[in-house]
Amino acid sequence: MAKIEIKNLRAEYVEKLDRFVALDDVSLDINEGEFVSIIGSSGCGKSTLLSILQGLNFPAGGSVTIDGKPITGTGRDRGVVFQHYSLFPWMNARNNIAFGVKQVRRGLKRRERYEVADAFLERVGLSEFTRKYPHQLSGGMQQRVAIARALAMDTDILLMDEPFGAIDAKNRTIMQELLLKLWDGEERRKTVVFVTHDIDEAIFLSDKIVMLSNSPGTVVKEIDVPFARPRDHAELVQTEGYFKLRNEMMSLLFSSVGDRIGGTEVVI
Amino acid sequence: MARLRRLLTVSNLLFIALLLLRLIPDRALRVQDHFEYTTYFAIALEAVMLAVTLTTKNDRIRHVFTDVIGFLFAFLCAWTLATAKFKVLNEAVFPPPGAVFQAMAVDVKVMFANIGSSLVLVFRGYVLALVIAIPLGLFLGWNVRVGSAAGYISKFLASISPIVYIPYFIVLLPTFRSASVAVMFMAAFWPTLASTMSGVLGVEKRILDSAKTLGVGHGTMLFRVVLPAALPQIFIGCNQGLSVSFILLTSAEMIGARSGMGYYVNNYANFGNYTRALAGVFVIGIVVTVITFFFNILQRWLLRWKR
Ligand SMILES: Nc1ncnc2c1ncn2[C@@H]1O[C@H](COP(=O)(O)OP(=O)(O)O)[C@@H](O)[C@H]1O
Ligand SMILES: [Mg+2]
C-alpha cells in the first residue's frame, strides 16, 4: 500500500450556480519516503490538489487516502509550507516554530520547545534571527523559518506549495540545496509532495515528477527521475540524460497546454 | 549655530509675544486676571519645548512638540487679548486665562482627589466593557451566521447615545455610582464589540489555513490566532471607546455624584463660576491627553509586529 493513494479524484469549485471542474480523474500513488513534485502551468489545479491533501478542501469525487484512511480534515501528520503567509506575523521566528511544535508534540515543556526551535533555526542558518518578526525577514528567510517549522513538527508528510516561487534565482538554488540536505539528512525520510512550475527545480529535487495538464487538471505523465543522490546543481547538469529529460518535459508541458489552446505561445 | 537657529521658531516668537502682553494694562473685569499664572504656565511649556528641541534628533517628535506648544501660546495670547486686555468677549462666561490658571493652582488638591475618583469610574466601566466585548466579539465574529446578524444589531445599538439609558440604569441598578459606571461601560462596549467582530471577519483566510494545517484546537485558534490577527482592528474600537468614555464623563457624573472631574465642572457651571468650570475642563483635557499618550504606547508595543 502506498503512503498516499489518490484514485479518480475530481475537484470542483461551486460559485453560485456555476460549477468549475478544477481536477478530473486524477490518480496517483505516492510511496513512503518519496519526494514527488507536481508540475504544471499556473491554474492547472496544483494548489487545489495540495489543498485536498492538506485537508482544507474536499474531493467532489474519487478518493484520497493516507495510510489507507480517507482524509477527513487537516491533521498533525502533515506539515505544510505555503508560498506566502505560512508564518504568523505576530510571532517572532522562534515563537512561530515553538508554536507549531506545541501543536504536535504535547509532551514537550516550554523550554524544550524553544530548544527544538533554536536547533532548527540553526539548521536553516538563521541562528542570529531567532527573535525577528516575519516582516523583519526577507522572503527567503521567511520561507526558511516556515520550512524549519514544518521539519521541527516532525510530521510523516511534508506538503509544499511553490515554497520558493517568490524567491530570486540565486537564493532559490541555495534553498533547494538546503531543503534536499535537510530531507536527505533525516533518519527516516519524509514523504514530500512539492508543487512547482519550474522544471529544473522539479528535476533537481524529485524522485518522481507528476505532470498535470490544464483545465480540468489531469495527470499527463509520471516521470521517474533516475539521478543519484546526494545531488548538487553543478554536477547534475553534467550528468548524462539531464538535458534529454529536461527537453522531454519541456515539450510535454508545452504540448499539454498547446493542445487545448490551439498551439499559440504560452507563458508558463 | 545650527542649534541656535533651531530656536528661532514661530513658537518661540509667540512665547515672547505672550510675555510682552504684560505691558498692556488690564481692563476692570468682574473676574480679575492673574497674568503671572499665565506666565508660569507659559514658562513651563517653554521649558518642555526647549528641552525637547535641544535633545531629540527625531524631527517628527520635535515638530509635534513645537507646533502644539506654539498653538497653545497663540491661543493664550488671543484669549488674554480678548478678555483682560480689550474685553471683546462677554466677561460673564469668558474669564481671563490667568484667573483660570490661578483657580487650578488654588484647587490643585481638590482636583487630584476628583481626578482619582473619575479615573476609578472610567477604569471600571472601560475594563468591564473590554473584558466582555472582546471575547464576545471573537465568539460572535467567528460564527459567521450569528456574527452578521450581531453586526447589524450592534451598529443599531451603538448609534444610541448612552445618555438615553441613564434613567433606566438609575431604576435598575442599586446605586447612583453603579449607574455612572454603566454609562462608562456602554460608551466603550459597542465600539469595541463592533470592531472586534469586524476584525475577526477580516482575518486573512491564508492565516486561518496556516493555523488549521498546524492542527490547532478551537481555543488556540480563537485566542492565539484570531485574536492577535484581529488586534489592530480591535484597537480602533478600544480607542474610540476611550474617547467616548471621557466625553460622557460629565454626563455620567451628573447622576448623583459628589466627586469627580465631571461633577466639579457641572457643579461650578451650574453656579455660574466659569473660571473654575473652565479650570476643570482644562484639567480633564490634560488628563485625557496623558492617558491617550500611554494608551498609544501600549498599543504600539502590542502591535510591534506590524510593519
Ligand atoms: N476558491 C476558488 N474558487 C473558484 N475557483 C478557484 C478557486 N481556487 C482556484 N480556482 C480555480 O481553479 C483552477 C485551479 O487553481 P489552482 O489549484 O490554484 O491552480 P495552480 O495552483 O495550479 O495555479 C484555476 O482555474 C482557478 O481559477
Ligand atoms: Mg498555486
Domain boundaries, chain B: 2-106, 108-306
Burial class (CB in 10 A: 0-12, 13-18, 19+), B246: buried
Amino acid at A130: T
**A218 in helix, strand or coil?**
coil
Q: In chain B, what residues touch A54 (CB-CB under 8 Å)? A: 209, 213
CB atoms within 10 A of CB B40: 15
Domain at B108-306: CATH code: 1.10.3720.10
Picking from B207, B304, B306, the nearest residue to A85 by CB comes out as B207
Q: In chain B, what residues touch A79 (CB-CB under 8 Å)? A: 213
CB atoms within 10 A of CB A80: 29
Which of these, B234, B229, B266, B270, lies nearest to B251 by C-alpha position? B266
Cα A48 to middle of ligand 1, angstroms: 6
A to B CB pairs, distance under 8 Å = 60
pLDDT of res. B53 = 85
pLDDT of res. B1 = 63
Which of these, B162, B154, B120, B114, lies nearest to B137 by C-alpha position? B154
The CA-atom distances, in angstroms, between B153 and each of B143, B157, B193 are: 15, 6, 11
How large is the ipTM?
0.89
- The Cα–Cα gap between B101 and B106 comes to 9
pLDDT of res. B61 = 87
Ligand 1 proximity of A44 Cβ (cutoff 6 Å): yes
Query: Is A90's CB within 8 Å of B214's CB?
Result: no
Instruction: Report the mean per-residue pLDDT for chain A.
Output: 92
Question: What per-residue string of b and e applies to B252-275 under the rule 16 or more CB within 10 Å gives b?
Answer: bbbbebebbbbbbbbbbbeeeebb
pLDDT of res. A262 = 47
Contact with chain A for residue B200, Cβ under 8 A: no
Q: Considering only alpha carbons, which residue of chain A is nearest residue B212? A: A74
The CA-atom distances, in angstroms, between A31 and each of A1, A10, A141, A157, A204 are: 8, 21, 30, 11, 19
Determine the average pLDDT of the residues in A211-227. Answer: 91
Which residues, other chains included, contact B78 with Cβ-Cβ below 8 Å and sequence gap of 6+?
Answer: none
The CA-atom distances, in angstroms, between B251 and each of A151, B178, B262 are: 59, 14, 7
Residue closest by Cα to atom 14 of ligand 1: A45
Query: Is A75's CB within 8 Å of B215's CB?
Result: yes
Instruction: Please give the torsion angle defined by the CA atoms of residues A162, A165, A171 and A174, in that order, rounded to the nearest 10 degrees.
Output: 20
Determine the average pLDDT of the residues in A14-43. Answer: 93
Residues of chain B with pLDDT under 70: 1-3
Picking from B211, B212, B305, the nearest residue to A89 by CB comes out as B305
Is residue A258 scored above 80 in pLDDT?
no
pTM of the model: 0.88
Which of these, B119, B124, B241, lies nearest to B175 by C-alpha position? B124
Ligand 1 proximity of A43 Cβ (cutoff 6 Å): yes
Edge-first strand listing for the sheet containing A69-70: A18-30, A4-15, A61-66, A69-70
Is residue A264 scored above 50 in pLDDT?
no
Give B254-294 as a DSSP string.
Answer: TTT-SSSHHHHHHHHHHTT-HHHHHHHHHHHHHHHHHHHHH
Residue closest by Cα to atom 16 of ligand 1: A45
| A228-257 residues touching B, CB cutoff 8 A | none
- The Cα–Cα gap between B278 and B269 comes to 9
Is residue A90 scored above 60 in pLDDT?
yes
- The Cα–Cα gap between A16 and B27 comes to 78
The number of angstroms, rounded, from the C-alpha of B41 to the middle of its chain's C-alpha atoms is 21
Query: Is A78's CB within 8 Å of B213's CB?
Result: yes
Percent of chain A residues topping a pLDDT of 70: 95
Angle, helices B274-302 vs B97-106, to 10°: value is: 70
Cα A222 to middle of ligand 2, angstroms: 19
- The Cα–Cα gap between B282 and A181 comes to 67
pLDDT of res. A257 = 59
- The Cα–Cα gap between A3 and A37 comes to 15
Picking from A74, A88, A133, the nearest residue to B213 by CB comes out as A74
Give the tens place of pLDDT for each residue, B132-158.
Answer: 999 999 999 998 778 788 888 888 888
Give the tens place of pLDDT for each residue, A143-171.
Answer: 999 999 999 999 999 999 999 998 899 98
Confidence class of residue A256 from pLDDT cuts 50, 70 and 90?
low
pLDDT of res. B256 = 83
pLDDT of res. B100 = 96
Which of these, B71, B226, B54, lies nearest to B140 by C-alpha position? B226
**The three cell numbers locating residue B154:** 450592534
Instruction: Please give the torsion angle defined by the CA atoms of residues A80, A84, A86 and A89, in that order, rounded to the nearest 10 degrees.
Output: 170
Amino acid at B219: G
The number of angstroms, rounded, from the C-alpha of B74 to the middle of its chain's C-alpha atoms is 22
